[in-house]
Structure 1
Amino acid sequence: MQQSLQQAVELALHDDWDGAHEIAQASNEVTAHWIHAVLHKIEGDEWNSRYWYRRTPHEYEEYADPKAELRAIAATLQGGE
């Protein structure tokens, strides 16, 4: 599962919202919910984004830049955080 979540982050970083969303939506892991939250933040769907953040230990306001947040998720997935 970690590998597919890393792929979702890479897709999102390369602006493939749909591909990343499909992977994140298929998982019930907390990190997938975090990715899902960021994707909806990027999309501008704040209500839905906040819904997914509530399923994680993270906050909507924690990162101003979604790309920086995606890089933080990637580091977490790689054991760097």
Structure 2
Amino acid sequence: MTYAEFLASQTQPAPPTGLSPLLLALWHAGRDEWHQAHDIAQDNEHDPLQNWLHAFLHRQEGDLGNAAYWYRRAGRPVFTGTLRREWEELARTQLPA
């Protein structure tokens, strides 16, 4: 699946089958389904990319202190761009153009 296909899938009522946990969480986050995305992130805290996702979700929620904790766990600086830009960067780590 390409980034464009993933983006287009967000208009569908259900996520595409076979998505990795990270992409599934991003699919939900991109639809403002925060709780579903957060549940997935919490189940995968062993992975630095999931920790970045977790940071993004707390930033999306507006809990910047908690987001900072997860950025540290991910080994990443706090993202300073827009939420949309960060969502795109996370998705593009997993999907070809």
Taking structure 1 as the reference length, the TM-score comes to 0.86
Alignment: residue pair count: 78
Which has more helix, going by share of residues?
Answer: 1
Secondary structure in 2 matching 1:15: coil
Tell me the residue number matched to 2:94: 77
Tell me the residue number matched to 2:21: 4
Q: Which runs of 5+ in 1 are unaligned?
A: none
Instruction: Give the RMSD, CA atoms, in angstroms.
Output: 1.6
Larger Rg: 2
The answer as to 2:48 corresponding to 1:37 is no
Taking structure 2 as the reference length, the TM-score comes to 0.73
The answer as to 2:85 corresponding to 1:68 is yes
What is the aligned-residue identity percentage? 35
Instruction: Give distance in 2, aligned partners of 1:79 and 1:71.
Output: 12
Runs of 4+, deviation exceeding 3 Å: none
Q: Deviations over 1:15-49 (max 9, x none)?
A: 00000000011002111100000000011111100
Tell me the residue number matched to 2:64: 46
Secondary structure in 2 matching 1:55: helix
Deviation at 1:79, TM superposition (A): 5.7
